[in-house]
Structure 1
C-alpha cells in the first residue's frame, strides 16, 4: 500500500509517497514552490498540480492523502487557524482539498507530523517501548506535537501539543497570540537574540552568542545561554509533569544546542514533580527536514 503525504510549507509544497509494505521505504519525493503571495486559491492549484505530477510519475492516483499544515484545522468550525501562511486562516481547507483532489484527506499541524514521523520512523525506532512521544520544535518559534500509541493527539480544539504558548515569564515580551511571556517569547531563537541585543547593545546570531559563552569571553552571552537553560528546564518540566512522555524529540535550530541535553537536562530536575529525578530520554531528531512530509504520509 502506498502512503501519500504532502508538507505544505510557506515556500515549498512537498509530496512524498511511502511503501507501507516495504518498511516505509520512500518511493518518490517531489516539490513545487508554494507561491503563497498569489493567494489561497493559487496554493490549492499548486497542490493539485503537484499531485498530478506524482500521479503521472507513478501511473496511479492516490486513494487518500495526508497533509502537514502550517496551522491547524479547527474541529468546531472546520476552518484553518494559527497559520503563519496567513491567507489560509479562516479557510475550509479540508473541504476544499477533498473537492479539488477528489479523495479523502487528513490534516495535521506540521509539528504533529514531525512528532509522528520521529516516533514511527526516526528517533522512536531506538525506543520501541515509547508509547507516548512528544515532539518539540524550538527554532524561530516554539511548537510541539503529541503522539500516543502511534496516533497524533489533536485535542478538543485542535491545539494538542502547543506548549509554546503557555506563559513562562510573568510580564514578559508580548506575543502575537495576545498573551505575554509565552515560552516562544523566551526561548525561541529570535527571543534569545533579542535578549542579548537589548542587554549588550550588540546584535548577534544565536550561534555566535553560544560560541562566545563557550569561550568564556562574554558575560552577557553567558547570561543569555543561562536564561535559555533555566527557562528550558522549567518549560520541559511542565510538559513532563502533565504528560510524562516516554520520549521527547527536539527539532528546530535551537534544538541543535548540545547544552540542552546536558546542563539543560539537569535544570529539568529542579522543577519536575518527581523528587528531582528524570529518566525521560530527550534526543535530537533523525529525519531532518523530511519529518513533516513523512509524518503527513503516516497520517
Structure 2
C-alpha cells in the first residue's frame, strides 16, 4: 500500500510517498503560496496527484499542519495565519475525492520517530520541536494523542516552570501571554535571551547574533555565548521535567534546528533530575533518526499498517 505524507509548512509544502515497509519511493516540494488559502489547498492536491502519477498507484493521504482543528473542523492556533478559520480537511477531501487524515505537525514528528525512528519500540514518546517555534507531540502505543480540545502536546505555550533570577522579566509571547516556554526555548528566544543579557552588543554594527551563531561561538569558547547556552539547557531541563512528571514518557525525542546541539543530550538529563518527582529517571533524551523528514514521514504514517 502506498502512503503519501504532506508537510504543510509556512515556506514550503513537502510531500513523500512511503512503501509498505517505510521506504521513501517519491518526494517532491513546492513553495507555500504566501497568504493564499485556496492556492495552498490546490498546491497540496497537485502534489498528491503528481506523486500518484509518478508511482502509478492511488495512495492514502495524511497531512501535517500547524495549529489544530477546532470542534467545527476549522484550523486554529496556526502560525500560518491564512489557514485559520478554514475547513482544511473538508476542502482537501473534496479536491482529492477520498478521506484525508490531518494532524498537528509536531504530532507528525513524534509519530514518525515512534514508528521507525528514535522512539521505535517505546510505548510512550514525547516529541519536541525546538525551532522557530516550540511545540510537542505525544504518541502512546503507536497512536498520536490529540486530546479533547485538540491541543495535546502544546508544550510551547505552557509557562516556564519556576521563573526566577535570569528568567525575569517574563518575555512577551505572540499568543498574548508572557513567559511561555517558546519565548525561552525557540531559536529566536535563545537569541533574544543572549541580547538581553549582553545589552552592550546591541549598538554593534550588523544584525544581532542568531541562535546558530550563539551556539557556534559557545562551542568555540566565547564566555558570553557559553553562558547563554547554559541558561538554555537549564530551562529546557525544567520544561522537560514538567513533561516527565505529567506523562512519564519512555523517550523524549528532540527535533527542529536546535536539536542538533549535541551537548543537550548529555547535560539536560543531568539538569532535570532535581525537578523530577522520582529518585530515578529512566526517560531517554535522544536526537531524531529522520531529522527534517520526520514531519512528512509522520503524516504518511497517520494511516497505519492495517489501513
| 1:151 pairs with 2:143 | yes
CA gap of 1:209–1:16, structure 2 versus 1, over 3 A, is closer
Distance of aligned partners of 1:99 and 1:196 in 2 relative to their CA distance in 1, 3 Å threshold: same
1:190-269 matches, within 5 Å, as 190-200=188-198, 201-202=200-201, 203-218=208-223, 220-269=224-273
Query: For the Cα contact (< 8 Å) 2:256–2:292, is it kept in 1?
Result: no
Alignment size in residue pairs: 289
C-alpha displacement of 1:188: 1.5
Give the 3-state SS of the residue equivalent to 2:263 in structure 1. helix
- Equivalence for 1:105: 100
Higher mean Cα deviation, 46-55 or 246-255?
46-55
> How far off is 1:173 after superposition?
0.6
Asked if the contact 1:19/1:25 (under 8 Å) is kept, the reply is yes
Q: Equivalents in 1 of 2:172, 2:77: separation in Å?
A: 17
The structural deviation recorded for 1:13 is: 1.7
Structure 2 gaps of 5+ residues are: 202-207, 303-307
Moved more, 9-18 or 280-289: 9-18
CA distance in 2, matches of 1:255, 1:48: 31
- Secondary structure of the corresponding residue to residue 278 of structure 1: coil
Hey, what does 2:295 align to over in structure 1?
292
- Measured after TM superposition, the shift of residue 59 of structure 1 is 2.3
Contact 2:65 2:102 in 1 (8 A): yes
Shift in alpha-carbon separation, 1:211–1:46, aligned structure 2, 3 A: closer
Cα distance change of structure 1 residues 42 and 208 upon mapping to structure 2, 3 Å threshold: closer
What are the superposed Cα offsets for residues 115-153 of structure 1, whole Å, 9 maximum, x if unpaired? 00011121123xx2x100010111111111000000000
Aligned: 1:131 with 2:123: yes
2:113 equivalent among 113, 118, 124: 118
SS in 2 for 1:123: coil
What is residue 29 of structure 1 aligned with on the other side?
27
**Equivalence for 1:182:** 180
Q: What residue in structure 1 maps to residue 84 of structure 2?
A: 89
Deviations 1:169-192 (A, max 9, x none): 475111111210010011212111
Question: Could you say if the C-alpha distance between residues 65 and 215 of structure 1 is closer, same or farther in structure 2, counting changes exceeding 3 Å?
Answer: closer
Query: C-alpha distance in 1, partners of 2:105/2:77?
Result: 12
Q: Does structure 2 retain, via aligned residues, the 8 Å contact 1:171–1:180?
A: no
Q: CA deviation at 1:156?
A: 0.8
